[in-house]
């Protein structure tokens, strides 16, 4: 066997290549309505106290605690404060003011008596003129009063840098009157698929196939929290590939390619990129052996082989974790499960078989190991990771699986 | 205590009310480029075999196995088939045809010899006229040949109804030349927030607050895989609420409201919906006691209380699971963790405290229990579910938590 690059070595090379792009994203300001799932670029401090003003936690009556120390006690109803009442109200000592949840507590009042602990003994709910309320329970000063700033004081951090914005974060921002938020710009990924065999429209002629890799990479990129900035395709003509590569590089933070990278003739990606410094390598893995990395105008180019299973496995093994991390998405850590049936592997290569988790929680290989089995891959929900030096595993053995 | 509806009873009522809407979604056809995360409405069968044609798994030479039974053997190179080669080729027995991965296997050839097991002894890679190749390893018939239909036969199911479309499914559809797919229509959710205290623009006047519930519900609905079909707001004027309610009902499969549902005066949702049959109830839970359900023109209306924590907790407890299920999203099952510190609860109510998972994997209550603590809720990542009859739990006790 020729000596091959290991999966770990190639993963480290790609991580190094992408680090400058992924670790320092520019900040962009977006309306909070569009910010779900984005990552806060910086600490956000509140310009206001929350609550904005001292308000009632209950529907009831605002009074002075001193006036209801002995109960029952009848108090004149000197006012009414619905929520949203726009005029400040002052409590005359020895009286009560009807108040709704969320309404500003009148100056002079220091507690709220819930409506359940009161009864109107004169007047009606819908006409409080001359009304009198009987208070049946004492309340301490401060009870059922939400003090201004008791949730968050003006100047405090309401959102920490690096937070992935969930509904509860957006709600807090909205409550503080914040309408726009600075978030990390999504990573812009250009996608190029190559090959003279790719059909250019809805019909595949003799010897042609439909391009499965364009949509595979685009949706993998989207799912990993990045954005697809360019999608293009070329046949095996170097000038055609250079044209789409130039457009992809101009609009992207990084570019993914599929196909054209192995040792045969007509390998357009290798042909164009190797002379300008691409590192073309064979990885000790199956599928996904031929791989390359390059840089064009400072933009990292990650080159995958063109078989559709190879492309998807390569993205999953080498790029997914990095993009998810940049997007603030939780890592999809490989985990250990039991094999439902024996599997075979090949010498000198780490193999990623397509697997399906059974109802018992074990994993079973589905489809064959060949990298063209694109429909077979759709039946899988994990990759089974078979170490390089293992040729055979019995049913019941523990294996590592990667969630797809 | 007055007898209250339990959380389970109210959850069951909402599930019943929403079942007709959620269980039979109309089908819509979308381009596969827009189908990531959607749910297949029906089984999709392939109109083609995959692979579309018999093709080579390797770069190498297509030969007859019988002609290489004894090696080494020198064969005339009678042709060259790059991938995408548009003209059918026939192998003359006793010769070899150079072939690239994915290219159609010439008629008459039954095996591929990988390039590594060959050497051109006459001719050059870029000029095969008069070339001769030495074959150094025998291969059985069928080796490195991908038979037409060996991945999936025409007429077989390529995508099962109910599958949530991941990149690998879209890739398989694309490979089969399928450009559009029938998916379940997303659930259209109308959102209405109410209250005279809601500021109508960027400035909150005296006694006013900024609306945190509109964006909270909109983003919760989006995160649960449904779509926001309408967002409106009204003050406590019944006619104003009727107007936005009518618009929401006209465009939505279900409507969520916040506020205006408790026992106080100026409760606009209750005032409008109770006379037309709303079930208004008090749930034995905190936050989130006052709740209601109704139907308007056959559209279910789910009414939450207006405090921002109550609104978010109510959605999480009563609606999230149902919407996620309809969207094919995995359930976020409550799980059991250890309490880091003691917590207190209240009598006769199931309490949902805001909690934060510690680095040790335990859970700690954050913020207070009051339902106005919208900034406090943003610091939480789970709800701690304290059963109705529990008033106190020690640190170290097991509790159920709901992921936010």
* B339-382 residue pLDDT tens: 999 999 999 999 999 999 999 999 999 988 899 999 999 999 99
Q: How far is A34 from chain B (nearest CA, A)?
A: 9
Average pLDDT over residues A93-107: 95
Number of neighbouring beta carbons within 10 Å of residue A317: 22
Q: How far is B307 from chain A (nearest CA, A)?
A: 8
DSSP readout, B13-41? HHHHHHHHHHHSPPEEEEEGGG-TT-BB-
- C-alpha angle A172-A178-A179 in degrees, rounded to nearest 5: 115
Top residue of A43, A117, A168, A214 to mutate, by most chain B CBs within 10 Å, is A168
Torsion sign across C-alpha atoms B303, B307, B313, B316: positive
Q: What is the pLDDT of residue B263?
A: 77
Average pLDDT over residues A276-289: 95
Q: Give whole-number Cα distances, A285 to A271, A316, A346, A364, in Å.
A: 23, 13, 9, 20
Q: Is A285 in the same domain as A300?
A: yes
Cβ–Cβ gap A380/B52 under 8 Å: no
Alpha-carbon distance B184 to A244, whole Å?
36
**Which residues span the domain enclosing B173?**
27-50+152-184
Average pLDDT over residues A245-259: 98
DSSP readout, B105-174? PPBT--EEEEGGGEEEEEEETTEEEEEEEEE-S---TTTTEE-TTSSB-TTSEEE-TT-B--HHHHHHHH
Asked if the model's pLDDT at residue A380 lies above 70, the reply is yes
Cβ–Cβ gap A82/B265 under 8 Å: yes
Bridge-partner residues for A291, per DSSP? A281
Alpha-carbon distance B111 to B137, whole Å?
12
Q: How many CB pairs under 8 A join A and B?
A: 280
Closest CA to B314 of B260, B352, B363: B352
Cβ proximity of B374 and A175 under 8 Å: yes
Q: pTM of the predicted model, to two decimals?
A: 0.93
CATH number of the domain enclosing A172: 3.90.105.10
Number of neighbouring beta carbons within 10 Å of residue A348: 14
Cβ proximity of A290 and A307 under 8 Å: no
Number of neighbouring beta carbons within 10 Å of residue B217: 28
The DSSP element (H or E) to which A336 belongs, if any, is strand A335-338
User: By CB neighbour count within 10 A (0-12 exposed, 13-18 middle, 19+ buried), where does A305 fall?
Assistant: buried
Average pLDDT over residues A119-142: 93
Range scoring the smallest mean pLDDT among A270-284, B195-209, B219-233: B195-209
Instruction: Show residues of chain A in contact with B36, CB under 8 Å.
Output: 219, 222-223
Residue B200 lies in a domain: yes
- Residue ranges of alpha helices (H) inside A307-378 are 308-318, 320-326, 374-378
Q: What is the mean pLDDT of chain A?
A: 95
Residue B98 lies in a domain: yes
Q: Is B159 in the same domain as B214?
A: no
Residue matched to tokens 């300008």: A276
Confidence of residue B1 (pLDDT cuts 50, 70, 90): very low
Nearest to B103 among A199, A207, A306 (CB): A207
Q: What is the pLDDT of residue B186?
A: 97
Asked if the model's pLDDT at residue B34 lies above 50, the reply is yes
Closest CA to A227 of A296, A301, A364, A327: A327
Residue matched to tokens 């109210």: B10
Confidence of residue A4 (pLDDT cuts 50, 70, 90): confident
Q: Is B237 in the same domain as B315?
A: yes
Cβ–Cβ gap A219/B167 under 8 Å: yes
Q: A231 by DSSP, 3-state: which?
A: strand
Torsion sign across C-alpha atoms A113, A119, A120, A122: negative
Cβ–Cβ gap A53/B210 under 8 Å: no
Q: Is B316 in the same domain as B206?
A: yes
Instruction: Show residues of chain B in contact with A125, CB under 8 Å.
Output: 265
Q: Is A40 in the same domain as A169?
A: yes
Q: Is A229 in the same domain as A267?
A: yes
Residue B2 lies in a domain: no
Q: What is the pLDDT of residue A1?
A: 41
How many residues would you count in chain A? Answer: 404
Average pLDDT over residues B294-316: 97
Q: What is the pLDDT of residue A266?
A: 80
Residue matched to tokens 């429909």: A375
Please tell me the total count of domains within chain A.
Answer: 4
Residues with Cβ within 8 Å of residue B203, at least 6 apart in sequence? none
> Which tokens belong to A210?
């439909």
Residue matched to tokens 């042709």: B79
Average pLDDT over residues B233-242: 96
Q: Is A316 in the same domain as A384?
A: no
Residue A301 lies in a domain: yes
Q: pLDDT tens-digit profile of B261-275?
A: 987 778 999 999 999
CATH number of the domain enclosing B378: 2.40.340.10
Average pLDDT over residues B48-57: 96
């Amino acid at each position: 066997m020729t000596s091959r690059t290991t999966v770990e070595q190639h993963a480290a090379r790609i991580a190094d290549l992408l680090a400058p792009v992924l670790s320092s994203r520019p900040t962009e300001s977006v309306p909070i309505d569009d910010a779900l799932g984005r990552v806060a670029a910086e600490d956000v401090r509140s310009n206001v106290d929350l609550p904005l003003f001292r308000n009632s936690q209950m529907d009831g009556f605002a009074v002075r605690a001193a006036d209801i120390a002995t109960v029952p006690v009848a108090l004149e109803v000197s006012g009414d404060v619905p929520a949203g009442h726009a005029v400040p109200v002052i409590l005359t000592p020895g009286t009560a003011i009807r108040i709704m949840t969320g309404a500003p507590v009148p100056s002079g009042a220091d507690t709220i008596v819930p409506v359940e602990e009161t009864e109107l003994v004169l007047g009606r709910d819908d006409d409080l003129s001359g009304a009198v309320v009987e208070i049946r329970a004492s309340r301490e000063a401060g009870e059922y009063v939400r003090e201004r700033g008791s949730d968050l004081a003006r100047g405090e951090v309401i959102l920490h840098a690096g937070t992935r914005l969930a509904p509860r974060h957006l709600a807090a921002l909205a409550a503080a009157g914040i309408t726009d938020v600075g978030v990390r710009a999504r990573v812009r990924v250009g996608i190029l698929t190559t090959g003279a065999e790719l059909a250019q429209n809805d019909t595949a002629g003799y010897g042609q196939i439909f391009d499965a890799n364009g949509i595979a990479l685009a949706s993998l990129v989207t799912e990993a929290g990045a954005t697809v900035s360019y999608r293009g395709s070329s046949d095996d003509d170097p000038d055609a590939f250079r044209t789409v590569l130039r457009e992809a590089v101009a609009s992207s933070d990084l570019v993914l390619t599929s196909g054209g990278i192995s040792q045969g003739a007509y390998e357009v990606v290798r042909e164009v990129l190797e002379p300008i410094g691409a590192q073309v390598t064979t990885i000790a893995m199956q599928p996904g052996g031929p791989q390359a990395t390059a840089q064009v105008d400072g933009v990292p180019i990650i080159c995958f082989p063109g078989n559709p299973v190879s492309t998807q496995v390569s993205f999953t093994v080498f790029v997914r974790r990095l993009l998810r991390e940049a997007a603030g998405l939780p890592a999809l850590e490989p985990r250990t499960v039991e094999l439902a049936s024996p599997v075979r592997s090949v010498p000198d290569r780490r193999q990623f078989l397509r697997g399906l988790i059974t109802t018992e929680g074990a994993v079973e290989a589905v489809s064959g190991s060949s990298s063209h089995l694109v429909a077979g891959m759709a039946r899988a929900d994990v990759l089974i990771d078979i170490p390089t030096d293992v040729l055979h595993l019995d049913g019941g053995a523990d294996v590592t699986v990667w969630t797809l």
